[in-house]
Amino acid sequence: MPRPQISFATCNLYNLNEPGRPIYFDRDGLSEEEYSKKLVWLSRVLTHHSADIWGFQELWHGDSLQNAFAMSGLDEEYSLLVPYDHTGGRIVCGGAVKKKMLVGEPEWIDEFPEHFKLDSKGDDAQTPDISVQVNKFSRPVLHFKVKPRQDQPAIHIYVCHFKSKKPTSIRSENWYKKSMYSRHQAALGNAISTIRRTAESAALRMILTERLKKTDTPVIVMGDLNDSQHSNTLNILTDQPNYLLSHSSRGGSDSGLYSVGTLQEYRSLRDVYYTHVYKNTRESLDHILVSQEFYDNSRKRIWAFKGMDILNDHLNDENHKETGTTDHGIVRARFEFNPA
């Protein structure tokens, strides 16, 4: 008899908003035709790349997500997680959960932990002072709980979208208007984006450590983290757990998170997957990270890894507005109930 399975998927919606509503500095937003193409493409993805739990990024309007699920015929199967009165004024992370799995109400985390601080005089005499004043996530982190089995603890899920790798625009800053800075716009903008993304990673890591440390709580983190698997951002977020290569070994990290990309690499002949293309550079910016309750070689394993797949052929499209596609690959991970 096959074991019960559960699947998770993350998808950047590439600015899903109702037609005619502003998106950033584009006052006209999507045309009716462009909007229709986005819904058609997304509804096909939801149908043919199905998952029990979805995490979405770049959601501007709750009705747009509802319309995509209705078009796919899945609206009766899922509970959609969207803030109340989310009508196109800002960007959030959203979600969808197979009905009867959701536990409690979702929350959107705007603020960093109260005691978050990045302030140091340096760890040696040569290191100058540093102080970073960031106290909020660029995009609110969605947190919710699911319970696929009543005899097991609820799974805490965090859907996030960290600051992009695109250089922060600094042209409107008063200090930048001095002529000495004009040739350094890209370098300084990239540095600001990287610092903000690093701060967001550290803030979420504080939240995760409080949730994971000495609790045996299953946790999933997924979303567009805008950095690669071995970046400093991911190292902070995952706490760099040790991967055991022998199936005879048993371990597991109490507070670490395991990348399903790495778990898949250990089962594949090659690592060739990617979720984003920029200037002919293919990178994996979208991730699913799991606690030791989902790690095969953990003593605390509840769910065993079955595999990861990525939908990314659409990244070959040059004009995503024209095709209705997103500019990120979609990552899905599957697990089966198989306690250690």
Distances (CA, A) of 56 to 11, 31, 183, 224, 298: 5, 22, 37, 9, 29
Residue 264 above 70 pLDDT? yes
Q: What is the mean pLDDT of residues 245-251?
A: 67
pLDDT of residue 277: 80
Q: What is the mean pLDDT of residues 303-320?
A: 91
pLDDT of residue 12: 98
Residue 328 above 70 pLDDT? yes
Laid out side by side, the sheet with 155-161 consists of 102-111, 136-146, 155-161, 219-224, 286-290, 258-259
12-66: per-residue pLDDT in tens?
Answer: 999 999 999 999 988 999 999 999 999 999 999 999 999 999 999 999 999 999 9
The yes/no answer on whether domain 5-337 falls in CATH 3.30.450.370 is no
Strands 130-132 and 136-146: unpaired
pLDDT of residue 272: 66
pLDDT of residue 246: 63
201-236: per-residue pLDDT in tens?
Answer: 999 999 999 999 999 999 999 999 999 888 999 999
Give residues with Cβ within 8 angstroms of 292, minimum separation 6.
241, 252, 253, 254, 256, 258, 298, 300, 301
Which range in 155-164, 281-290, 315-324 is most confidently predicted, on average pLDDT?
155-164
Secondary structure (H, E, C), 75-142:
CCCEEEECCCCCEEEEEEEEEEEECCCEEEEEEEEEECCCCCCEEECCCCCCCCCEEECCCEEEEEEE
Residue 171 above 90 pLDDT? no
pLDDT of residue 267: 82
Residue 270 above 90 pLDDT? no
pLDDT > 70 fraction of the chain, expressed in percent and rounded: 97
- Give the up-direction half-sphere exposure of residue 336: CA atoms within 13 A in the CB hemisphere: 7
173-200: per-residue pLDDT in tens?
Answer: 888 877 678 788 889 999 999 999 999 9
- In this prediction the pTM is 0.95
pLDDT > 90 fraction of the chain, expressed in percent and rounded: 75
How would residue 242 be classed by pLDDT, with cut points 50, 70 and 90?
confident
pLDDT of residue 247: 62
The more confident residue out of 324 and 175 is: 324
Least confident of 81-90, 94-103, 153-162, 166-175: 166-175
Residue 249 above 70 pLDDT? no
64-89: per-residue pLDDT in tens?
Answer: 999 999 999 999 999 999 999 999 88
